[in-house]
DNA sequence: ACATGTGAATCCTTTCACAGCA
DNA sequence: TGCTGTGAAAGGATTCACATGT
């Protein structure tokens, strides 16, 4: 691994870039050509100093006294996120959630392409979901290789998630989005992002309880 | 505000408590009565020092030289998260994702109860999803009040999310789980957690691009 | 005059390392 | 001996405040 100037972007900043991109897209849709750190920050739900600091890690895109060009800033952020090249993904586990994710329309317009759907159940394999045939998970390695899948969305039951993840990694995938309620054990060079609906609700419950305890006083 | 011993729990710690709880449930299912900070940390995907530090904000539950009792630690964490009392939630927006969330089985076993489903489309209102009748979003305030809903899951299209959030807040809800790709503007005392699938994929794309840039060197 | 870009200060989080106790 | 619980140190992230450039 070589040290790169681009690699100096902090993780917390990377996590916010999608918000900025979304806000910029909205502004573009509204026909706004120019924006400011405070307007963009407001729409992204962060502070303006934070936004400027975040952008400073990518470079210097604004004009002092004026602001940012909406379109060109969006292009810079897209480039920083690696959204120039197409990313081909497979969804594994076509249950309720897998269905919903397959039908999610936000992929293609943003450089993501659903290249494969995989499931273990004979009832589902062979059917079409969102215009794509569901393949048997037994053929996982082959499908991933042949269709040049580089990212996998895991929507399987928790019990089998670790095993599937191992196959997926063995097939060469290095980016996984995990919806299963399991802490996946993967090699260091594999990036896993987990979305846990149950966990999010529990965090909200904590705040509800804290509020109740405070109000009692 | 009175005794803040509970309120001193850092946000980062709260965010990890659900992982610990999940790992403890797994251990209990396997019939393991006793565990250690390193075993529990391993299963939760964190470091053992971090786990011990996190638990120290809640109290002191282990036995030095021995470890933690699986069942009683789980009970303590549940209590800290406010999972003793039932939380009644409404899902707003019964599209692909709303369907999937309504059918998600992880709620009831964890103290959450789906008390209402709401949608705007005449095609959906009146149908049954997951055994619950879908009500008209026009009746939102009434439904929330009558069914004592305290949390809302927003699964609407982005365009209407802000408007719905405002109604939901006006109806007295203070905890929102937002799946719409929008930064909701809400009063300070309302807690919003956002899940953004598109954003997660973009973060993965960033790592893929960083890897590609590094390998080239 | 005005908004960006950025060092410096502050705050929060993680990690370390060991004292304390079964 | 072995593992917890916790001060202290280290490392990140956020916020401040202003110099900088248009």
Starting at the edge strand that comes first in sequence, how are the strands of the sheet with B151-154 ordered?
A: B128-129, B132-136, B112-119, B87-92, B151-154, B175-178, B191-194
| pLDDT at residue B2 greater than cutoff 70 | no
Same domain assignment for residues A49 and A136: no
A188 lies in which domain range? 87-199
**For chain B, what is the domain count?**
2
Nearest alpha carbon to residue B22 among B106, B101, B112: B106
**Could you tell me if A135 and A32 lie in one domain?**
no
HSE on the CB side for A34, CA within 13 Å?
6
Name the domain boundary from A34, A59, A80.
A80
Q: Which pLDDT score is estimated for B217?
A: 53
**Is the residue at A209 inside a domain?**
no
Other beta carbons within 10 angstroms of residue B53's beta carbon come to 14
Q: Is the pLDDT of residue B60 over 90?
A: yes
Closest CA relative to residue B137, chosen from B119, B121, B114: B119
The rounded distance, in Å, linking the Cα atoms of A30 and B101 is 32
As a whole number of angstroms, the distance between CA A122 and CA B52 comes to: 45
Residue A48: inside a domain: yes
pLDDT digits (tens, 9 = 90+) for B37-57: 999 999 999 999 999 999 999
Task: Please compute the mean of the pLDDT values over residues B58-78 and round it to a whole number.
Answer: 97
Q: Are residues A76 and A125 in the same domain?
A: no
- Average of pLDDT values for B66-75? 98
Strands (DSSP E) contained in A41-190 are 68-69, 87-92, 112-119, 128-129, 132-136, 151-154, 175-178
Mean pLDDT for chain B overall:
94
Half-sphere exposure of A6 (CA within 13 A, CB side): 17
Q: Are B74 and B98 within one domain?
A: no
Q: Does A17 touch chain B (CB under 8 A)?
A: yes
Give pLDDT, residue B62: 96
Residue nearest to nucleotide D7 (CA to C1'): B53
Chain B 43-102, CB < 7 Å to strand C: 46-47, 49-50, 52-53, 63-66
Domain contains A132: yes
Same domain (yes/no): A91, A192: yes
Q: Which residue is nearest to nucleotide D13 (CA to C1')?
A: A12
CATH of residue A55: 1.10.10.10
Same domain, B170 and B105: yes
Predicted pLDDT at A213: 83
The pLDDT of residue B214 is: 74
Nucleotide closest to A39 measured between CA and C1': C3
* Lowest-confidence segment of A97-106, A182-191, B67-76, B190-199 by average pLDDT: A97-106
- Six-digit token string for A140: 């996982």
pLDDT of residue B105: 80
Tokens of A147: 């269709």
State phi, psi for A91 to the nearest 5 degrees: -105, 125
A147: domain CATH number is 3.40.50.720
pLDDT tens per residue across all 217 residues of chain A? 334 444 689 999 999 999 999 999 999 999 999 999 999 999 999 999 999 999 999 999 999 999 999 999 999 999 999 999 999 999 999 999 999 999 988 776 678 999 999 999 999 999 999 999 999 999 999 999 999 999 999 999 999 999 999 999 999 999 999 999 999 999 999 999 999 999 999 999 999 999 988 776 5
B81 with A209: Cβ contact below 8 A: yes
């Amino acid at each position: 691994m070589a040290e790169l100037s681009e690699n100096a972007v902090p993780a917390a900043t990377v996590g916010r870039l999608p918000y900025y991109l979304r806000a910029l897209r909205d502004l573009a849709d509204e026909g706004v050509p120019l924006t400011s750190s405070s307007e963009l920050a407001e729409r992204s739900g962060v502070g303006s100093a934070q936004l400027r600091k975040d952008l400073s890690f990518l470079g210097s895109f604004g004009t002092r006294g004026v602001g940012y060009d909406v379109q060109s800033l969006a292009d810079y952020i897209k480039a920083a996120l690696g959204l120039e090249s197409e990313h081909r993904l497979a969804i594994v586990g076509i249950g309720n959630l897998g269905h919903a994710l397959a039908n999610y329309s936000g992929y293609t317009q943003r450089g993501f392409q659903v290249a494969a759907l995989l499931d273990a159940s004979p009832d589902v394999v062979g059917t079409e979901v969102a215009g794509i045939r569901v393949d048997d998970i037994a053929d996982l390695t082959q499908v991933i290789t042949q269709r040049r899948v580089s990212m996998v969305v895991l929507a399987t039951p928790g019990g089998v998630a670790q095993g599937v993840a191992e196959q997926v990694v063995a097939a060469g995938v290095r980016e996984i989005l995990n919806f299963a309620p399991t802490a996946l054990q993967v090699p260091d060079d594999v990036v896993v992002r987990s979305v846990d609906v149950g966990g999010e609700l529990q965090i909200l419950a904590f705040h509800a309880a804290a509020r109740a305890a405070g109000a009692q006083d």
